[in-house]
Amino acid sequence: MEQGSLSMKMIIGNWKMHLGIRESVAYARGVLHITVGHDVLPEVVICPSFTALSEVRKVLVRTRVALGAQTMGTERFGAYTGDVSVAQLDDAGCGFVLIGHSERRAMNGETDAVVNTKMKLIAQTSLVPILCVGEPKAARDAGNAEAYVIGQIHEALRGVTLSSSSRLIVAYEPLWAIGKGEAATVADVVAMHTAIRNALKTLYKTIALQVIYGGSVDGAHAYQLLREQSIDGVLVGGASLKIHEFEAIVNAGREVMTAQNI
Ligand code: 13P
């Protein structure tokens, strides 16, 4: 698939470790409410906690909102107490899975090698990986942001076989912009997304690649980000837990798609 052929914008809500089952179901209904009745709609994905996946799935079935998981284990099955395999996520109705989120890299030992193992497991399923990358402040200050992020992507994809029907979402989430209330500038995001596409030039001619941004995205500036051609979507943490903020972000996606005739 050629670059640009998947031009629909994408909005992903990462609920992190928030909401119980009943709250998640209620909130998923709220998200559905935002999306119904619109011809033009970005692709919307919500990623609840594991405990809420199956109940939220029931709400989302036959709707235009998809289900994603926040992480996965590194083995197919077996004696791995507490882990959840990609096959189990598939079974639970997930179409997407986040891997390499910076919070898991920092707090759960998710190294590049672990991310690579997960990529290989996902490649054998129909789930779509949302590969999270992003540089710490020190790397940006030292002028190494692009090298850092491209390095993470190369490590994640090392030896991974992707076919022409494969879809890959790369989520650029600079560490210094996550949960800070201040997103990276549009110019910085565009520059990084361009570098990511260039690094994957040969690959993205054969797979469906989307590059999205995450880090303090809110309803107020989502439009500025989403209107950029190189920003295929946004990965939203805190603001995805406030229904009006999330609605504003989804609406920004709709506005951009309408204005750009997508
Ligand atoms: P915030 O939107 O809260 O900054 O979180 C971003 C994030 O980590 C999404 O995965």
Superfamily of domain 10-259: Aldolase class I (3.20.20.70)
Q: For ligand 1, is residue 30 a contact (CB within 6 Å)?
A: no
Is residue 158 within 8 Å of 131, Cβ to Cβ? no
The one catalytic residue among 43, 110, 146, 173: 173
Residue 168, beta-bridge partner list: 209
* Distance (Å, whole) CA 197 – CA 141: 22
User: Which of the 8 DSSP states describes residue 40?
Assistant: S
pTM for the whole structure: 0.96
| pLDDT digit string, tens, across residues 169-185 | 999 999 999 998 888 99
Domain ranges of the chain: 10-259
* Distance (Å, whole) CA 36 – CA 17: 27
Q: Is the pLDDT of residue 5 over 60?
A: no
Give me ligand 1 centre to Cα 216, in Å.
6
**Phi-psi map region of 4: left, alpha, beta (phi>0 left; psi -120 to 50 alpha):** left
* Distance (Å, whole) CA 202 – CA 181: 36
Residue 109, pLDDT score: 94
Residue 182, pLDDT score: 82
Give 3-state DSSP helix, strand, coil % of the chain, rounded to 5: 45, 15, 40
Tell me the pairing of strands 233-236 and 10-14.
parallel
Q: For ligand 1, is residue 225 a contact (CB within 6 Å)?
A: no
Q: How far is CA 163 from CA 2, 160, 191, in A?
A: 13, 10, 27
18 is catalytic: no
| pLDDT digit string, tens, across residues 80-127 | 999 999 999 999 999 999 999 999 999 999 999 999 999 999 999 999
* Distance (Å, whole) CA 185 – CA 42: 22
Q: Is the pLDDT of residue 214 over 60?
A: yes
Quote the tokens at residue 238: 């805190």
Among protein residues, the one whose CA lies closest to atom 1 of ligand 1 = 237
What average pLDDT does this structure show over 29-43?
A: 95
| pLDDT digit string, tens, across residues 188-210 | 999 999 999 999 998 888 899 99
What average pLDDT does this structure show over 38-67?
A: 97
| pLDDT digit string, tens, across residues 21-34 | 999 999 999 999 99
Give me ligand 1 centre to Cα 164, in Å.
30
DSSP for 179-206, please give it.
TSS-PPPHHHHHHHHHHHHHHTHHHHTT
Q: Considering only CA atoms, which of 219, 212, 217, 225 is closest in space to residue 249?
A: 219
* Distance (Å, whole) CA 4 – CA 2: 6
Is residue 68 within 8 Å of 45, Cβ to Cβ? yes
Is residue 86 within 8 Å of 50, Cβ to Cβ? no
* The ligand 1 atom nearest the CA atom of 180: 4
* The ligand 1 atom nearest the CA atom of 218: 2
| pLDDT digit string, tens, across residues 126-171 | 999 999 999 999 999 999 999 999 999 999 999 999 888 899 999 9
Residue 14, beta-bridge partner list: 47
User: Collapsing DSSP states into helix, strand and coil, what is residue 240?
Assistant: helix
- List the beta strands (DSSP E) in 127-178: 128-133, 167-172
* Distance (Å, whole) CA 15 – CA 252: 20
Q: For ligand 1, is residue 214 a contact (CB within 6 Å)?
A: yes
Q: For ligand 1, is residue 237 a contact (CB within 6 Å)?
A: yes
* Distance (Å, whole) CA 252 – CA 212: 15
Q: Residue 3: which pLDDT band, with cuts at 50, 70 and 90?
A: very low
* Distance (Å, whole) CA 76 – CA 71: 14
